[in-house]
Amino acid sequence: MAIIKTPIRTLFKIKSLSDTITTNEELWKEILQELELVVSKANFATWFQSTFIADQDSGRVVIGTPSAFVKEWLEDKYQKQILKLLRTRSPEVRSIEFKITPQSAPAVKKSPEHGPSEEQMDFREIYTDRETNLNPRYTFENFIVGAFNELAHASALAITKSLGTVYNPLFVYGGVGLGKTHLLQAVGNKIKKENPDKKVFYVSAERFANELVTAIRNNETGFFKDKYRSFDALIIDDIQFISNRTSTQEEIFHTFNTMYQLNKQIIFSSDRPPRSIQNLEERLRSRFEGGMIADVSEPDYETRLAILQSKTAEKEEYRPSLDVLEHIAASVRSNIRELEGSLNSVVVRSKMKKRPLSLNEVKDILSKNAKPKKILSAQQIIRRVAQFYDIHEKFLFEKTRRKEVVKPRQISMYLLREDFNGSFPYIGQKFGGRDHTTAIHAHAKISNDIKKDDRLKDEIKTIREQLYEEEKSG
């Protein structure tokens, strides 16, 4: 089994809030765990995977990063957040700096005699293979299959058996936290394990786009193209990210065609089906639709319980009772990521108490964790709908009857009524002083259409997910 060797570097001892001595490693691990909760998986893997605390001295913390690109990105986007997290643990921290230290990322070492220690297991959580960019913790073995993801699972498994020939591309779509990244990475890990000489690569569409932009800026597009075309299997996660980005779409199209002609496998994931990705070039859409499209929906109660059971098997200490697991499965319905999160908070609490928790204690924890249903502003709803359909917000308020505006306008009205509890006169007024009957009509129309039109239903579901998700990530 591949395990991570803790890199040799000086461990500066610092005092944390709880007055226990924490090493830099431990401290950073805690920070990463927190960040993982608020940053998307793809972003987490892209920006935080090979970071660590390189140095710490009189209130100044230096964070090592693998490249200039990551360094700049972290400085730009995460500096404040990281500082805040550090300070909650270690109030004497005054400032942070980033530096490039490419060699210091954890190295892989084979160790036949010893199993991985606990600490090393934890490192595996955030470890990504350098060559494939895959995280070994995502496997088929720990992926639970139920009616909700059966098709996606079966298709994914099928391509590992005949690479590039059965379903090319495979396009997996579904809502937040339902296992798309896990499944895609499991495919990559399995292909690699069974065919060590095949070149497999996992990348988020966001990172792909960023790399492309950098390559263009540095006149290195030739290198970029060669790199991507050299893979036997290419996995691109969260492809909806490229809506609107013409140059990225162009590059993906060409990469795809080249790979396709050579019978190389491409796998995509997305939060929505190809036909719902706004401003996607037609030729790319038809490529996406030319292979296999499989969705993942939400797991039912039984499956949620099975997932919780499989996830506790590994954490044998203070194992939660069946009652407790049933309670979690019944109360956390949104997605698998939150299911895991709730289980983790229970496990953490039992570790602190050094005993399994009672059902009442668990109920208490979950009710504190449960985020109150977010109160949205009308503005947020309208902005989100406009973004989703990729039109300028102002069109929604104008008199235009263009089809691409009418639908988002009606959906905005519908959501203002359903999720904001707006009165019909208010809603009519809000949209350029329209009459309340217009709002009533829009609400009735969407309510009715949802029943017949699965695509519309999915779109509204995604918009809602994004609306309620916003809170967490921003």
Binding site for Mg ion (CB under 5 A): 41, 180-181
- Counting Cα atoms < 13 Å in the Cβ hemisphere of 327 gives 19
Using the rule CB under 6 A, is 177 a contact of ligand ADP? yes
To ligand ADP, the closest distance from the beta carbon of 33 in angstroms equals 13
- CB-wise, 305 or 405, nearer to ligand ADP? 305
- DSSP output for 69-81: HHHHHHHHHTHHH
Q: Which amino acid appears at position 153 of this protein?
A: H
223: number of Cβ within 10 Å: 11
DSSP 323-387: HHHHHHHHH--S-HHHHHHHHHHHHHHHHHHTSPPPHHHHHHHHHHHSPPPPPPPHHHHHHHHHH
Tally Cβ neighbours within 10 Å of residue 330. Answer: 11
Out of ligand ADP, Mg ion, none, what residue 190 binds, judged by CB under 5 to 8 A for its kind, is none
Residue 392: both structure tokens together: 């300028």
Q: How far is the CB of 30 from ligand ADP (least distance, A)?
A: 18
Q: Which is nearer to ligand ADP, 299 or 428 (CB)?
A: 299
Q: What is the amino acid identity at position 162?
A: S
Could you give the string, one character per residue 140-169, with x where binding to ligand ADP holds by CB under 6 A and - elsewhere? --xxx----x--------------------
To ligand ADP, the closest distance from the beta carbon of 204 in angstroms equals 10
Structure tokens at 165: 């020939």
User: Contact 381/387 with Cβ under 8 angstroms?
Assistant: no
- Residue 122's nearest CA partner among 309, 366, 348, 357 is 348
Nearer to ligand ADP, 223 or 301 (CB): 301
**For ligand ADP, which is the closer residue by CB, 36 or 449?**
36
The two structure tokens encoding residue 340: 């895991």
Which of 182, 190, 245, 272 touches ligand ADP by CB under 6 A? 182
Interface region with ligand ADP, contact rule CB under 6 A, candidates 46-54, 174-182, 317-325, 363-371? 174-182
Contact 17/27 with Cβ under 8 angstroms?
no
Residue span 338-377 as binding mask against ligand ADP, x where in contact by CB under 6 A, dash where not: --x-------------------------------------
Residue where the block lists tokens 């996660």 = 237
Closer Cβ to ligand ADP, 143 or 388, answer by number:
143
Distance, in Å, from the CA atom of 216 to the CA atom of 233, rounded to the nearest integer, reads 24
Phi and psi for 6 in degrees, rounded to 5?
Answer: -65, 125
Interacting positions 30-49 with ligand ADP (CB under 6 A): 41
Size of the site for ligand ADP (CB under 6 A): 16
Task: Enter the tokens of residue 416.
Answer: 């203002």
What single-letter DSSP state applies at residue 179? S
* Residue 146, both tokens: 């139920």
Q: Which of 65, 132, 181, 243 binds ligand ADP (CB under 6 A)?
A: 181
Least distance (Å) from ligand ADP to the CB of residue 73?
21
| Binding residue for ligand ADP, selected from 176, 233, 234, 292, defined by CB under 6 A | 176
Q: With CB cut-offs between 5 and 8 Å by kind, which of Mg ion, ligand ADP, none does residue 46 bind?
A: none
Residue nearer to ligand ADP on the CB measure, 150 or 390: 150
Complex with ligand ADP: residue 142 or 278, whichever CB lies closer:
142
Give the bridge partners for 173, in sequence order. 270, 295
Cβ closest to Mg ion, residue 93 vs residue 336: 336
- What is the contact surface with ligand ADP in residues (CB under 6 A)? 41, 142-144, 149, 176-182, 307, 336-337, 340
